[in-house]
Structure 1
């Protein structure tokens, strides 16, 4: 595998990423890989948890004959800036510049460039596809079709029953309703005006949170005319698998959706009841081959369609 470090400018910042090139002289079809939320690098790795999602996908897509580009978010890895000060729309702008960089890269066929996004990256992929010059197609992994504030409340309701028994007992003792607490914090966040603020004792990316809570993915989904593949795990506690039906109804272009049984938000197999407590164990395993197979086969089909 040929891997090259590539930098590009976005606003006042320099972002860095890895371009992988398949064997042969090209030009090759290409895929931009957009990671999820928070301070994650080009491989989707967080300082506290190495998710590896975009790295796994890059290698699988390379083996399928694609060039790929994945990048460090602002203030992470080799990219400049502060991730806490970046808003959702900044992240979309960064991805648009990454897409332009990939499209212009040597050995890339500019007529066949796809975008694959996971979690927040799926929202960003949808926003790019809805823009004036869309990619050839988009893959939405663990996507949401719900306004951000409503999604966060849904997450709290799903996660609360899966917390360890001692934590649930403490919440009952303190008479703390997790959903109500999240809603209260939302009001505090909406009242902030700075990029970074302290809410409920923690220093948070306030501007991103305000923009995310106000963002409704359906507005962009309704403007996507290129083919879409949307995939969610059946045990995802961070997005509602039922949102795939909304994606299919809202996108005017061709849509293919899949709910993959026993797969979590991290795109790994999860046995037993759905729980985020298993994440640390899951990241030691590769991505579920059913998810990877859906992505690589669908991407190859788009190349054949364009070709």
Structure 2
């Protein structure tokens, strides 16, 4: 397998990424990899935290002969455009453009493209699958079936509960309620009108937040006609693990949906209670080997089945 620099245009931006491919004679399957929210590069890294999810997924796929493509978000890494003015719908458009770029390549079978999304990437993958029955399948890692605004409120409750006891006690003394504070922030975001706004002295991409809060993935999940693999960790405090069961109920196509015991939102296992405070340490460890094996095995099976369906 070799790494090729691949760029494509979407709207006003030219986006850059890495295509991992082999020297095969004919067109083969390819996996589009979509990372989580925020100013994230092709490897799922940001300035605040490097988690390397899609870099490791791409590496595992390559070990088993599967090509993949991952790219930097707008305004991140080698990609042009402006992250702070990019909304959820822009990110969906970018991913759709990436699929068309892959379909136009001679070394990619356009009917054997699989999408793997993590967190926001899973939201985007859901929309792609609903709109594009020509995909061979989608993998939703920490995907959601909940209205965005409700999910952000659920997150606030989980994060508050995961705080260390001294921090919780201090918050009570100072009369700071994390959940109430987050709800006030969400109200300010809903009332905003521009691309960015200063919320509690922090400049935020409120365009993306407004679009995410208004986004309900349920109708799209009900429209999917391609095979789905949905996996969420039991210790995820950013996405409700129970949503994976609802995904399984909503998707009318072949869908394998399950909760992975002990897995966090970063797709690492954690022995202790789930907490954002553990993310720095988790990020130093590799993505769970069992998860990587499951995703790769499913992608290989789907690529093989899609090939059979095409020739039959």
Note whether the superposition's TM-score is higher than 0.5: yes
1:133 deviates by 4.7
Match of 1:231 in 2: 231
Q: Does 1:131 align with 2:126?
A: no
Match of 2:108 in 1: 108
Name the CA distance, whole Å, in 1 between partners of 2:222 and 2:258.
19
1:126 deviates by 0.4
Structure 1, unaligned runs of 5 or more: none
1:47 deviates by 0.9
Match of 2:27 in 1: 27
Flag the 1:228–1:132 CA change in 2: closer, same or farther, 3 A.
closer
Match of 2:243 in 1: 243
1:167 deviates by 2.4
Any conservation in 1 of the 2:245–2:258 contact (CA below 8 Å)?
A: no
Any conservation in 2 of the 1:41–1:73 contact (CA below 8 Å)?
A: yes
Name the CA distance, whole Å, in 1 between partners of 2:47 and 2:23.
32
1:23 deviates by 4.7
Secondary structure at the residue paired with 2:109?
strand
TM-score by length of 2: 0.96
Match of 2:152 in 1: 152
Name the CA distance, whole Å, in 2 between partners of 1:75 and 1:48.
16
Figure out how many residues of one structure are paired with residues of the other and give that number: 307
Any conservation in 2 of the 1:22–1:28 contact (CA below 8 Å)?
A: no
Match of 2:69 in 1: 69
1:86 deviates by 0.4
Q: Does 1:286 align with 2:286?
A: yes
1:304 deviates by 2.2
Secondary structure at the residue paired with 2:223?
coil
CA deviation digits over 1:12-65, x for unaligned, max 9?
110000000035334221100001000000000111211100100001111122
Match of 1:193 in 2: 193
Any conservation in 2 of the 1:237–1:264 contact (CA below 8 Å)?
A: yes
CA deviation digits over 1:220-258, x for unaligned, max 9?
111101000000011111001101111011111110012
Flag the 1:132–1:301 CA change in 2: closer, same or farther, 3 A.
closer
Match of 2:259 in 1: 259
Name the CA distance, whole Å, in 1 between partners of 2:147 and 2:41.
26
Higher alpha-carbon deviation: 277-286 or 139-148: 277-286
Q: Point out 4+ residue stretches in structure 1 off by more than 4 angstroms.
A: none
Structure 2, unaligned runs of 5 or more: none
1:293 deviates by 1.2
Match of 1:169 in 2: 169
Any conservation in 2 of the 1:34–1:118 contact (CA below 8 Å)?
A: yes
Match of 1:8 in 2: 8
Match of 2:17 in 1: 17
Any conservation in 2 of the 1:128–1:134 contact (CA below 8 Å)?
A: no
Cα RMSD for the two superposed structures? 1.1
1:186 deviates by 1.0
Match of 1:301 in 2: 301
Alignment of 1:194-209 (within 5 A): 194-209=194-209
